[in-house]
Structure 1
Amino acid sequence: MEDCKKGTRIIRMLTADEIECRISMVNEKGVALLLFKDARVDQKILDETFGPLGWKRSHQEIGGDLYCTVEVWDKEKGQWIGKQDVGTPGSAEKEKGRASDSFKRACFNWGIGRELYTAPSIWIPAWKTRIQEKDGKHYCRECFRVLEIRYDQERTICELKLTDSEGQLVYEFQTSPAVAEPVQSGLSREQEQAMERELKRTGVTLEEVLSRYHIQEAGQITDEIYQKAMRDLKRSRSRDAA
């Protein structure tokens, strides 16, 4: 997608299924959560926005720290434009390594997932989840997920709903509903065109697809729903052969 006035690429905002929840603190009163994205989401959005061959990454060690540079191809200038950041993995990042952390930080500099910085402080009280204690230490094995997220025109989170592993709503945040806008579909233009072709071939309507997956509008089609819908459509006979 391009900004017609500026002629620049617009980085879309993250969809609910692209955001993960991480427990940052646990005590007897409840659980604190942070929202984050992983490197696979960064790669996906870079591919969507600039094309698989329109970006590249490189790493270099400077003063014992590992830096990542993410470059994108500027057609107007005919050159690569890069943004760089350093990986500073904490205890929660050890398994991912400095390379992954520096890559994600460099992608933040390009605007991927920057809206997560506007997330509210997320606190789940103990009565809404399961907190255990062992040897004087509290811990929670619950898996939380983002059910719904909306942004305002300033790309700020204005509505957020989280559920536990059983699908129970455990957290809800909302500013003025008048400015809340649902995040757009995470589908690329190529995916949209592919689905349009299959719908035309089979004679299945978009409304039938939305009804099957219990969603109200095309903007709610996630990548997971897209994969399932395309698999079912490709198994269906062509309208002309029926």
Structure 2
Amino acid sequence: MAQETELTRLRDPFAPEDIEWRVQTAGEKNGKPWARVLAYVTNRAIMDRLDEVVGPANWQNVYKEGPAGGVICGLSVRVARSDGTSEWVTKWDGAENSDVEPVKGGLSNSMKRAAVQWGLGRYLYDLEEGWAQVHDGGRFSAKTKDGKWFKWDPPTMPEWALPKAQVASVDQLARIDALLSQVRNAKVAGGIRKRVAEGLTRAAADDAIRFLEARIAVETESQRAA
């Protein structure tokens, strides 16, 4: 059971692997596909966060049919008061049945929206408009309204939207800065600096360090050969 002050932990950012991205719109410009995407927290991550913060026995959800179809979810949390008592507090929200697996999708989406009422994943609404990174090596596939398939990866999450433990360390950023001073290709260096400014996870920082070290080795070898 959580004290009221502890419930603020429900608002903490989730790890990138707990975020799912859906294509909202997609098209093509000058022969190149583009996609605008939206971020959502997975239901599994929501349940894990509730278990962690308030305890498995101190939250529950109930469902009702919506007034115009769809599903309404009530997400209840047992809150401990300062006087030693406790009470169940319920927050409600709803969603329409989805196109794929309508009932299951409606239940899942209504729970996600009810969770936002408690602060879980609410920070995702503060993200700037999300544009997919479209390239041949993307992990996900989608198609434009004209039926052209393309591959894409999610946008890079800004530093403020990452768990503190996953943000690149000071030592990693210092190493990247030192390597950037040795890179001769201004375009390459500018691209890395942009990624650093947007915020890097520890894993992404390690990738950037390995890339820069390899780039410097290639440039050094080319200079010697010349």
Query: Same fold per TM (> 0.5)?
Result: yes
Q: Residues 1-242 of structure 1: matches in 2 within 5 Å? A: 7-10=5-8, 11=10, 12-29=12-29, 30-63=34-67, 64-76=69-81, 77-89=85-97, 91=99, 94=102, 96-124=104-132, 128-129=135-136, 136-140=146-150, 142-145=151-154, 148-151=157-160
Instruction: Give the Cα separation in 2 of the matches to 1:35 and 1:101.
Output: 13
Going from structure 1 to structure 2, the CA distance change for 1:174 and 1:98 (only over 3 Å counts) comes to: farther
Going from structure 1 to structure 2, the CA distance change for 1:97 and 1:79 (only over 3 Å counts) comes to: same
Instruction: Give the Cα separation in 1 of the matches to 2:74 and 2:145.
Output: 44
Instruction: Give the Cα separation in 1 of the matches to 2:194 and 2:45.
Output: 25
Confirm or deny: 8 A CA contact 1:27 1:139 kept in the other structure. no
Instruction: Give the Cα separation in 1 of the matches to 2:130 and 2:111.
Output: 26
Going from structure 1 to structure 2, the CA distance change for 1:96 and 1:149 (only over 3 Å counts) comes to: farther
- 3-state DSSP of counterpart to 1:21: strand
Gaps of 5+ in 1: 153-170, 184-209, 216-242
- 3-state DSSP of counterpart to 1:151: helix
Superposition deviation, residue 173 in structure 1 = 11
Q: Which amino acid aligns with 2:7?
A: R
Going from structure 1 to structure 2, the CA distance change for 1:137 and 1:86 (only over 3 Å counts) comes to: same
Gaps of 5+ in 2: 162-190, 208-226
- 3-state DSSP of counterpart to 1:9: helix
Larger radius of gyration: 2
With 99-108 and 57-66 compared, the bigger mean Cα shift is at 57-66
Confirm or deny: 8 A CA contact 1:93 1:101 kept in the other structure. no
Confirm or deny: 8 A CA contact 2:24 2:37 kept in the other structure. yes
**Bigger helix fraction:** 2
The answer for the alignment partner of 1:187 in structure 2 is none
Percent identical: 22
- 3-state DSSP of counterpart to 2:51: helix
